Amino acid sequence: MIALTESATSKVDELVKEEGEDGLALRVAVRPGGCSGFSYEMYFDSDIADDDETAEFGSIRVVVDPSSSMLLQGATLDYKDGLDQSGFSIDNPNAQKTCGCGQSFS
């Protein structure tokens, strides 16, 4: 299961509030594709399956499907808002190779 830093938790909380819909969770998934083999996918979801893994970070619920969970074990989602870096990034110890954009891995 992926973990969220305090910075990522705060930003996701802000974005969920902007959505204005109760019961939303952050879904993090790994899908085939991208220039390195797999790509990350993140979106708000209210449809939670029985076999999804869930974790709570403050008021944020994170949901991961079983096949993605294996590839995200030990990974961390962070958020930076600075001059040299801004946006979400995933530090994944399971990734042997990543592409230059940081959105795909193998």
In this prediction, residues 37-52 reach a mean pLDDT of 91
**105 has pLDDT over 90:** no
- Tell me the CA distances in angstroms from 31 to 38, 49, 59, 64, 88, one per residue in order: 6, 17, 26, 12, 17
Domains, the chain, ordered by start: 3-93 (2.60.300.12)
pLDDT at residue 67 tops 70: yes
What does pTM read for this prediction?
0.82
Q: What is the mean pLDDT of residues 62-81?
A: 94
- State the maximum Cα–Cα separation within the chain, in Å, rounded to a whole number: 41
DSSP 59-70: TEEEEE-HHHHH
3-state secondary structure of 13: helix
What pLDDT does residue 102 have? 47
Contact residues for 13 (Cβ-Cβ < 8 A; gap 6+):
58, 59, 60
pLDDT at 36 over 80: no
